[in-house]
Structures are given as structure tokens and as C-alpha cells.
Structure 1
């Protein structure tokens, strides 16, 4: 009965993929640097705004992404292979530390919650492609849509909580602890990316054979 309205496997895969890509813990130092001159109330508002921007951007591509693919004549296996390659590049950035590079706070506009926090820091190309791949994998089944939507909502709930209490997390874990978790997330994302590419290649072979 549960499988008809909710797919736990698809939810878990989509949730973990988006969470690893968005890497809210890794975004904590950047968020604090961009909001360093804000009051606690303003910082809380920035966390909320950044989360909303990221949520709506990713949801928009998840809903309308299939129509974009249909218009461009792109197949689901092609999206899986391309998306897997992109996610693998993101994973390599997490593993090598290039994702730790933060923008200069002095060069950021007043409303940093929209750009670069909401997008492209949180709702970047990797997260957008991951959401589109998850929706295409889910197909037209209602359970798939419910699972992917729940994963997007759950991921952004974690993102909001992380940014909202970023100051305490940064003090508790320290930069070294956050950096270690970022490397672990990068390794997990690399494995997920390879699996997505493998599924796309097998789908291509099934279509040709």
C-alpha cells in the first residue's frame, strides 16, 4: 500500500544525492562570511531567504525539466550520463577542496541571500541536474513524484536548519570538522555519480540491443 503513494528507495536516493551536492555544512563558512556584518535577526532572515530561493529554483527545474528535455530532444539516458559526469566533477571539487573557496564578502551585494547563497551556492547546476534526473527516473508514477518532492522539501529543511544555526555549528565542529565531512560527502557523491552514469549506459545498450 505504501509503495503506491511513496517510494522509500527513490526518496532516500534523491534526498542523499541532493543533500550531498548542496553540502549545507560546507556552506556554513561561506554563509557566515557573507553575513558577518548582519545582526542575528538579519542572519536568520538571510538563511530563510537563501533556502527559499534554492527550493523554488530546484523545484521549478524538477517540474519543468522534462518539457525542456522533450523540446530539445534529449533522452533520459543522455541526461543520466551527462548528469553523472557533472555530479562527478562536483564530487571531485569536494574531494580536492576547490569547493571550499568562498567569494569575497566585500564584493557581495547587500542581498547575499539571493545571490550567491540561494543560487548558485545551494541551487547550483549539480543540484538542478540531480533533481531533473530524479524526476525522470521516477517516471509518471504518482509515488515517484511524491518521493522526489518529499526529498526536495526534506533536503531544504536540513539546509535551513544548518544555516539558521550555522554560528553554533561552526563553533562546535570547527573548520577542520566541516572540511572532513565535506570530503566524506564528496566520496559518497562520486559513488552516486558513477552509479547514475552506469544506469544511463545500460539504458543506452538496452535501447540498441
Structure 2
């Protein structure tokens, strides 16, 4: 999870919306991420095992989803005037998941839960770390909206293109890691 790194994508997706809509999107995205990460911390191994899904499949799916969003940002379709319904959708996908609670964060959470090995102190430390990261995420997204006054509409357009390029690179890396995971297993 990269709190400052999510700011460009966040602003490119919600930068032209009203301030209350941006704040709502920030809150919803972080709550969705917290819910997803918490769910996988509690029962991630069981969920993946039951569905016969490995981490490489999760990475591949997340990479493909991010690539679609990146292409929208690069082609300018995501910067068109959004409708009210999109506020919730953008907060859920791609912000809440797979950007904030992506395959890497989910896999790391599952690994750290495995390492805790039934020690209550380790579980408490992991829970505190998850909450702390999400608090920092929310603060970064919440106060990033102040940048809009500085960068204006043309800056948001430029940020959308840069964020699209970076998001595409992250997506390709997730897909490459997925392929390596399938080949290695």
C-alpha cells in the first residue's frame, strides 16, 4: 500500500467532482480497502483455498482490472463529466480495490497472518498496523484535494495521463508477477 502514491490516481478520478463528493470518495475508498484487507486477514487463506485460487491468479485479475482503468485514464474517457452514480463506483473500484487493497496488500496480509502463528500479540500488532496504514491512506486522500486549487483543471488532466501511465505500469508488473507465479508453481 502506497498512501502518497495513490494521490495522483485519486485526483485524476475524482478531481473534477465537488468537494463533498471527493471527501465521500476518499472515505468510501479507505473503508472498502479496510474491509477487504480485514476480510483477508481473518479468512484469506480459507477463501482462496475454498475457491482454489492462488495468489498468482489474484495478481493477474488485479493487473487486468488496473490495466482497464489505466487505459481509461490514458484515453481520456475517465476525465469525462461523471454522473452521480460513479461516485460510489470509483470509490469501490478502482480506488478501494484493487488500488488500495490490491493483490500485493492482500498477499502480504495473508503472509503476515501465517507468520503470527497463533500469538495474540502478533495478531494485535498486525491489526494495529492495518488500522494505521488506513488512517494514513485516509489522511493522504482527504487532504490531497487541496492540491486541486494549485494544479487547476489542466493539472488534473496532466495528472490523469501520468497516473494512467503509472497505473498501466503497475498493472503490467502485476500481470508479469502472476505469470512468474504460475510458471514457478
TM tier relative to shorter chain: 0.7 to 0.9
Deviation at 1:133? Answer: 0.7
- Kindly indicate whether residue 11 of structure 2 is the aligned counterpart of residue 24 of structure 1: yes
Post-superposition offset of 1:174: 1.7
TM-score (norm 1): 0.66
Task: Answer yes or no: is 1:51 the counterpart of 2:26.
Answer: yes
- Where does the alignment leave 5 or more consecutive residues of structure 1 unmatched? 1-13, 36-42, 109-114
Find out whether 1:72 has 2:51 as its counterpart.
yes
**Deviation at 1:128?**
1.1
- The residue number in structure 1 matching 2:118 is none
Which residue of 125, 143, 146 maps to 1:161? 143
Q: Secondary structure at the match of 2:137?
A: helix
1:136 to 106, 112, 121: 106
Equivalence for 1:191: 169
Correspondence list, 1:175-186, <5 A: 175-186=153-164
- Measured in 1, the distance between the counterparts of 2:72 and 2:162 equals 12
Q: Structure 1 residues 124, 17: CA separation in 2 closer, same or farther (over 3 Å shift)? A: farther
For 2:119, the equivalent position in structure 1 comes to none
Q: Report whether the alignment pairs 1:172 with 2:175.
A: no
State the Cα deviation string for residues 29-81 of structure 1 (Å, max 9, x = none): 12x2xx6xxxxxxx4xx655443322211111122142543332211111111
Answer yes or no: is the 8 Å Cα contact 1:80–1:196 preserved in 2.
yes
Q: What is the number of residues matched between the two proteins?
A: 168
Q: Distance in 1 between matches of 2:8 and 2:57?
A: 20
The alpha-carbon deviation at position 200 of structure 1 amounts to: 1.0
The 1:177/1:47 distance shift into structure 2, 3 A limit, reads: closer
Q: State the shift of 1:175 in Å.
A: 0.8
- Unpaired runs of 5+ in structure 2? 113-121
| Alignment partner, residue 61 of structure 1 | 36
Q: Check the 8 A contact 2:63/2:172 in 1, yes or no.
A: yes
Runs (4 or more) in structure 1 with deviation over 6 Å come to 142-148
Residues in 1 aligned to 2:62 and 2:4: alpha-carbon distance in whole angstroms:
12
What is the CA–CA distance in structure 1 between the aligned matches of 2:130 and 2:177, rounded to whole Å? 18
CA-based RMSD: 3.0
